Amino acid sequence: MDTEVIKTLIEVVDTGSFSNAASRLNVAQTTVSARIKSLEERIGKKLLVRERNGVRLTSAGERLMTSASSFVHLGERMKRVAQNTSAHGALSVAVDHSLPTDYLARWINALQRGRPELYIRAFTLNPNEISDGISRADIDVALVHSAPSRTGVRSELLAEETLVFLSADSRTRSVIDPGFVYIDWGEEFESEFYKFFGNIPTPRVHVNSGQVAVRYAALKGGGGYGRLGAARDYIDKGMLQVIPEMPSFPYPLRAIHACDGNQDMIKFSLGCLRKALSIS
C-alpha cells in the first residue's frame, strides 16, 4: 500500500474536504478522489462519506486511521534505511506484534552470527503493516500467525503451537464467566472460536496482546485463551492454570516473503529463523 495514498486520507480527514486536501498536497482534486477510491477498493470497504459540511469517517475509516500515521512513518523510515544501506547487504525482517518479542531478539542474534557484515532492520508490526511491507518489498521476511492471501506473497509453515484456556483464579473457567478476557489471536482463531462457542455474551475486556492479558490477569484475575508454550513459566509458578475441560485451538507460526525476493537472502533468513525458534 503506497504511503502517498495513506497521506492523502490523513489530509482529507485533517482538512475536512477533498478540495482542501488537494490544495495542501499540491495535486488536483481528481487525484485525491482517485487515491481514496483506490484505497477503498484495496481494503474492500467504504472509508469516507461526503456530507454537506465536509467528510465523515465510516467505522472502517476510523479503524484505519488509528494506524495511518505510524504506517506513513514506517514507510518513510524504511526508505531512508534503504538509501543508507544501498551499497551494502541489507535485510529487513518483522515479527507480528502479538508474538513474543523474544522471537525477534533471537532471530536478530542468529542473523548477526551468520553474517556479521549484514545491515539488519527489525520491526514488530501489526499484520496489515507486515503484509503491506512485504508487498512493497520494504520487508524481506516476516514471522506471523495469520498469513495474508495476496498475489506474490509466499507462506511457509514453521511450527504449530496450541492455544489453551488459561485462568488466574478459580472463578473463571469458561468463556461465559465475567472474568473472561477475549484475546485477539487473529482471524483464523476468531473464526474457529465463534464456530465452536456460537453467540456468547460480549466479553467485558478485549485485548490484542497475550502479554498484556497475562499481566492484566495477574493484577485482576480472570482468564482467556493463551499460547501454552509462552505460559509454561506462569503455570509452573502457579500463577496460571490450564482449564482441561475447555477446547484448545491450533496456533500456527508462518514465515512469509515475496515470491520474487532475493532467494539467497530469504533462504539464509529462514534458516536463522528456524534456529532461533529451535525448529529442525
Domains defined for the chain, CATH in brackets: 3-68 (1.10.10.10), 75-159+253-276 (3.40.190.10), 160-251 (3.40.190.10)
Q: pTM higher than 0.75 for the full model? A: no
Q: Return the residue matching grid coordinates 508490526.
A: 125
Nearest to 180 by CA among 129, 149, 226: 226
Give the single-character DSSP code of 241. Answer: E
Q: What are phi and psi of 208, to 5 degrees?
A: -110, 20
Nearest alpha-carbon partner for 204 in 185, 172, 182? 182
- Strand residue runs (E) in the chain: 48-51, 54-57, 90-96, 119-125, 141-144, 153-167, 181-183, 205-207, 223-227, 241-242, 249-258
Q: Is the pLDDT of residue 243 over 80?
A: yes
Q: What is the pLDDT of residue 75?
A: 63
pLDDT of 273 over the 50 cut? yes
The kind and range of the H/E element at 194 are: helix 187-197
Nearest to 59 by CA among 70, 74, 80, 43: 43
pLDDT tens-digit map of 134-160: 888 889 999 998 776 777 889 999 988
83-126: pLDDT as tens digits: 544 445 789 999 988 787 788 999 999 999 999 988 899 999 88
Q: Strand 205-207 relative to strand 181-183: parallel, antiparallel, unpaired?
A: parallel
Q: What would the DSSP string read from start to end of 132-152?
A: HHHHTTS-SEEEESS----TT
Q: Is the pLDDT of residue 79 over 70?
A: no
Report the C-alpha gap between 227 and 100 in whole angstroms.
Answer: 10
Residue 80 CB neighbours (<10 A): 9
pLDDT tens column, 13-65: 888 889 888 888 888 989 988 988 888 888 788 888 888 788 888 888 888 88
For residue 56, CA distances in Å to 19, 25, 44, 194 come to 15, 20, 18, 32
Q: Are 11 and 26 in contact (CB under 8 A)?
A: no
Residue 22, by phi and psi: left (phi above 0), alpha (psi -120 to 50) or beta? alpha
Helix then strand then coil, in percent of the chain rounded to 5, is 45, 25, 30
